[in-house]
Amino acid sequence: MAVFAGTRDVRSLQDSYRFHKRLFQQPPYPSAEGFKTVLAEIRDPAIDEKKICSEQFFDRTLLDELKAK
C-alpha cells in the first residue's frame, strides 16, 4: 500500500486503510450490479443481453466457505 500511496508514513497508511475498509463489504463479494455495468461496457451486438444473467459470471462459493470458518 505504501508503494501505491507514495508514502511510508505508518500512521497515514493505517488511517487510510481503516477508512477505506469501512467502504467495502467483508468478505468482498462481487456484486451483480457491478457485473451488469461491466457487461454494458463490453457490449457486443452479436450477444442478446436479455439472455445473459450477470450472476453466471461469478461464484461466491469459496468466499462463503471462508466466511463460515
- Reported as a single tens digit per residue, the pLDDT across 32-49 is 888 878 878 887 777 776
Q: Per-domain residue ranges for the chain?
A: 1-26, 31-69
Write down how long the chain is: 69
Which of the pair, 69 or 16, is modelled with greater confidence?
16
The C-alpha angle 44, 29, 65, rounded to 5 degrees, equals 125
The pLDDT value given to residue 49: 67
Cα–Cα dist 61/53, whole Å = 17
**Eight-state DSSP code of residue 24:** S
Amino acid letter, residue 59 = D
Structure confidence by residue, pLDDT tens digits, 2-12: 999 999 999 99
CB-based contacts of 17: which residues, under 8 Å, 6+ apart?
1
pTM score of the predicted model: 0.47
Long-range CB contacts (< 8 A, 24+ apart) of 45-52? Answer: none
The residue-averaged pLDDT of 50-56 equals 74
